[in-house]
Amino acid sequence: MESFSVLISVYIQERADLLDRALRSILVDQTVKPTEVVLVEDGPLTPELYTVIEEYRQRFPVLVSVKLTQNEGLGKALNAGLKACRNEWIARMDSDDISLPGRFEQQLQYIVTHPDIDVLGCAIDEFTSDENMINATRLCPERVNSYIKFRSPVNHPTAFFRKSSVLKAGGYQHCLFMEDYHLWIRMYALGMKITSLQASLYRARMDMGTIRRRGGWKYMRSEAAIQSLLKRKHIISLPRFCLNMVVRCSARVIPSRLRAYIYKSLLRKPVQATLLPANLYNNTK
């Protein structure tokens, strides 16, 4: 198996208990554990967050911190962490989500047997508060050629990518809320291989607060930047650019409840609120 790093960013507004759950999912529960975890502290944190980080650092020497003196935002934080990662293969992870126990093992098995891959994601199971109560699944296709023209082709926190390929494409660049989509477009334009496993190996929280944050004029400006990049890279035509601008920008200014309906009904694979056994993935510390 390849050696690999896990790249996480955390900032002051995040909850210590969720960071604890996220770190446990990658350092305790995994069938194949990372050789390095790079945690970017994006500005000063709360005492509770520092306590969790120090507890895990004492137990797991593979955990190292990159400290930024002030909050720089996700893109700059991930670039700082990217430079600090010592391995060629890097797995992304959000600080309030959960990687299921077989995630790294399955992704590693795929990249070993598909050496031409540059970015590998997987499906995400979404929940509201109980991680064992799944509401929907967010799938990305194995073939991204058509999909990338309208939506991000990889679920960002599930991405397993080559460090050299990301750096060759220019790393993370500023595009508020959409740094990942911006990166995938640039990598795709260079002919790099992007795909996703169809298995759900990751769990993420999705509530009204999350959906509400995905609206507004700042989000719409980022949409415009994404569509302009797709057009400049000759991935979409002018008519498709105009259609995307109307559809995607409109979704950012409609009421949050309507946006939630669109996400659940059109952009997700709905499930029948599946309740999984409480101890299936919740190993004790």
Averaged pLDDT for residues 228-234: 98
Render pLDDT for 196-227 as a digit per residue (tens, 0 to 9): 999 999 999 886 556 555 666 778 889 999 99
Please say if the pLDDT value at position 74 is more than 70: yes
167 lies in the same domain as 212: no
Averaged pLDDT for residues 87-102: 97
Confidence of residue 248 (pLDDT cuts 50, 70, 90): confident
**Rounded-to-integer distance, Cα 241 and Cα 255, Å:** 24
**Number of structural domains found in the chain:** 2
Task: Name the residue with higher pLDDT: 214 or 244.
Answer: 244
278 inside domain: no
Averaged pLDDT for residues 170-195: 96
Averaged pLDDT for residues 98-110: 97
262 inside domain: yes
Domain boundaries, position 71: 4-206
Render pLDDT for 139-167 as a digit per residue (tens, 0 to 9): 999 999 999 999 999 999 999 999 999 99
72 membership: H or E segment, kind and range: none
DSSP conformation class of 42:
E
List, in order, residues 6 or more apart from 121 with CB less than 8 Å away. 140, 153, 154, 155, 156, 158, 159, 160, 195, 196, 197
Q: For residue 280, give the 3-state DSSP assignment.
A: coil
DSSP string for 145-164: TTGGGTS-SS-GGG-EEEHH
Whole-number Cα distances in Å, 113 to 32, 218, 234: 17, 41, 31
